[in-house]
Amino acid sequence: MYLSEEFIQHIEWSIRQLVGVKNNKIEYAVPVSGGDINRCYQLKTREQYFFLKVNDAVTLPLLFLHEKEGLSLLSGAGQGELGEVCVPTCYSTGKYGDDSFLLMEWLVQGDKSDVAMRRLGEMLATVHSKHDTTFGLDYDNYFGSSVQSNKRHDDWTEFFVAERLEPQVKRAFDKGLLDNFDLQDFSILYYKLDNLYPKEKPSLVHGDFWGGNYLITDQTVPYLIDPAVYYGHREVDLALSTLFGGFCEAFYEAYDSSFPIDKDWRKRSNLWNLYPLLFHLNTFGASYRGQVRTCLNTYI
């Protein structure tokens, strides 16, 4: 879907006002890939390229504002003595008609070399080294197209059950994707959960750390993108990284060298991946039900 001439002129105005590019006329705007839920474009002016994300401002209000805030939190984790955390520069968010948009820098992608993947492992460890006193966040955000509740809890088990599993389980049950037997099995899991994992301080987590939510530039620098941040148990990011692939052993070795993780963390991947799998069940349908039940049955 191409942008209207009026929308392009509005973006040109944003560039002129907020970025300070003198020759700001957009020479072209072409659709590019950039995720499952947004319409994405490469914009070119005489001086530089930009990345533009567009979505419905009515059904997904504050989507891009929370994305910008999440990227800022991730970047801030790399301040001080910790290593740098690279995220794309967000120039502006705004609204035009019924659409919202996020204007960002354009990053040229490169190869996923072992060197780059080790840097990514170190970068994620840096993010996880930022701690808070409670689990959650001061505002809700999004996991994909689903509103993600981040109400604060002192206890990780309480947070994971109340703010992650229960809302998705209820949604799936209401849609007829799970039955009463599934509800009973989840109740058993809730009872057992507190004894299934090692306790840690709340860590800043990316929140949606799968293989499509990072990129390596042509300078072999890893960037974190599309976050769903909150303070949680850091194993959730590592678990999600195993769900759809996209990570090599160099990444995990570098992470463990930077911020050692419990040696049995992989055995708990199915536990933490119940949340993204329930989201996929609710978003894409019954094809994910078997995977949800398989992961659930591992722990009950």
Residues involved in catalysis? 208
Taking the C-alpha atoms of residue 284 and residue 281, their distance in angstroms, rounded to an integer, is: 6
Cα dihedral sign, 276-280-281-286: negative
**Cβ within 8 Å of residue 95, ≥6 positions away:** 57, 101
Distance between start and end Cα atoms, the chain: 47
Question: CB of 43 within 8 A of CB of 49?
Answer: yes
Question: CB of 278 within 8 A of CB of 165?
Answer: yes
Strand 90-96, strand 49-56: pairing: unpaired
